[in-house]
Amino acid sequence: MSQFIQTVTKVNDVLNNFAWGPVMLVLLVGTGIYFTVRTGFFQVRCAKTVYENTIKSLFHKQEKKGSGGGITPFQALTTALAATVGTGNIVGVATAITAGGPGAIFWMWVSAFFGMMTKYAEILLAVHYRSKNEKGEWVGGPMYYIERGLHQKWLATAFALLGLFACFGTGNMTQVNSIAESMNGTFGIPHLVTGIAVAAVTAVVIIGGIKRIGSTTEKLVPLMAFIYVVASIFVLAINFTQIPAAFGLIFKSAFTPTAAVGGFAGAMVKTAIQKGVARGVFSNEAGLGSAPMAHAAADTDHPCRQAMWGVFEVFVASMIVCSCTAIVIISTGAWNSGLDGAALTIAAFSHGLPRSAGVIITISIFFFAFSTLVSWSYYGEKCLEYVVGSSKLTPIYKVLYIAFLVVGATTDLKLVWKISDTLNGFMAVPNLIGLLGLSGTVITMTKGYLKERGASRAAQPSKARMTGAAQSKA
């Protein structure tokens, strides 16, 4: 048995090195660069439009424009963010800095900037090619636009199978294991107790379907982001004099090797680029094809309008949450302590919150991980639904998903995590083929939407003048 496990580990290591290696990372970032250039730097040029169609729209009561059967655009965003903003935003960023130095954060920002347009393209296509299932729910995602747009059923099925298997590892067992480990380390709660408790709460949420998941995440995501960001700001306020130096170190280390200092072993620029880009992709999932499945369930009147939430999603995941972790770790000097992962993040927060750092990080890990496993349950469900052609097996799937939470909380998951990580990375292969193959559709629809929006705005002053003239006559 041990020989078999060793063989599986070696094979997985080879596949993982490719899935998250230089070639795939170049393809992932390159796709974002391609869409950025083809749309004329949409994320910059149309930043105001993105703001008006996302955050600003939340403060204005608008007539519901969708065709029904789905969740609100904001719920779709929070469901996708719930899956995207996970423990990697706390632990993963720390690991990236440990391996690649502070310069890794600059390359994380670069990948996030271009990843905004990759996520935009994914969501646009997911909404454009979606359909309704037998329950009257919107279903969509890479498998649908690959089949309907590229007419490659086998490639669409490959994506769905990868997503289905990855959900039990990436979205399920590794997340609950992180919760169990942190709860045991901070509060002494047994792993089994945590596993059962998380499984019970998860069951209540996911049995209600996408509408209950959306209702849960729209409350949970803003809360968890608020708690973590406020805690970060508090620590940074105490160490504010070191913030300029932290940014300086990030930019300097991005282009020059980071010398060994304290407990840090040093890092080459190549390592900083690879670790930073990998963390950027992993933190916002741009190009992996997971988030479009949540956005496809939204009631929206235009694919481009929903796609703009994708730009905002990447901004929140990488530019805000990951950056909070990074700046706290670097500005406090904890990055060269020789620690790694959650221990490094806790050590950094201890500089401003000496007594409660462990508690705050544990609470954050719980929220981040729980929201991730809830959203990934939906991704796995939609992948299964696509593979079998109906939702008949959904109840069985949900029971298995809940049961695996208890297993994940009480088991050593090193190999499971590695295999899941590989499957997660390989989801990008069919998805990128779909994105690039349907890039013409993305560009055409974006230009059409902006032209229509411009014409609509131009008509508004004219209408106002006509109204004014009529009033004068009266």
* Pick from 195, 155, 203, 189: nearest CA to 175: 195
Average pLDDT of the chain? 86
Q: What is the pLDDT of residue 171?
A: 83
- Overall average pLDDT of the 280-290 stretch: 85
**Across 131-218, where does the E strand assignment appear?**
131-132, 138-139
Tens-digit pLDDT profile for residues 8-60:
888 888 888 888 788 888 899 999 999 999 999 999 999 998 888 888 877 76
Q: Is residue 469 over pLDDT 50?
A: no
Q: How confident is the model at residue 465 (pLDDT cuts 50, 70, 90)?
A: very low
Specify the higher pLDDT residue, 282 or 426: 426
Name 139's bridge partners: 131
Task: Give the residue carrying structure tokens 């935003």.
Answer: 89
What's the pTM? 0.89
Name 298's bridge partners: 71
- Overall average pLDDT of the 275-288 stretch: 84
Q: What is the pLDDT of residue 12?
A: 85
User: Domains in the chain, please, with CATH?
Assistant: 2-454 (1.20.1740.10)
Question: Is 127 buried (19+), middle (13-18) or exposed (0-12) by CB count in 10 A?
Answer: buried
Task: Quote the CA–CA distance of 128 and 303 in Å, as a whole number.
Answer: 6
Please write down the long-range contacts of 38-45, taking CB distance under 8 Å and 24 or more positions apart: 38/439, 38/442, 38/443, 39/117, 39/442, 39/443, 39/446, 42/117, 42/120, 42/311, 42/446, 43/113, 43/116, 43/117, 43/120, 43/311
Q: Is residue 466 over pLDDT 70?
A: no
Specify the higher pLDDT residue, 450 or 282: 450
Q: Is residue 189 over pLDDT 60?
A: yes
Tens-digit pLDDT profile for residues 52-88:
888 887 776 554 454 555 678 888 888 888 777 777 7
Tens-digit pLDDT profile for residues 213-256:
888 888 888 888 888 999 999 999 998 999 999 999 999 999 99
Q: How confident is the model at residue 460 (pLDDT cuts 50, 70, 90)?
A: low
Tell me which DSSP letter residue 316 carries: I
Name the range with the highest mean pLDDT among 154-158, 339-343, 447-451.
Answer: 154-158
**Cα-based distances in Å from 178 to 191, 336, 361, 414:** 10, 24, 11, 12
* Pick from 105, 106, 97, 108: nearest CA to 337: 97
Residue 243 phi/psi, 5° resolution?
Answer: -65, -45
**130: left (phi > 0), else alpha (psi -120 to 50), else beta?**
beta
Cβ 92 vs Cβ 344: under 8 Å: no
Q: What is the pLDDT of residue 354?
A: 77
Specify the higher pLDDT residue, 240 or 262: 240
Task: Quote the CA–CA distance of 472 and 18 in Å, as a whole number.
Answer: 71
Tens-digit pLDDT profile for residues 132-144:
888 888 899 999 9
Q: What is the pLDDT of residue 142?
A: 96
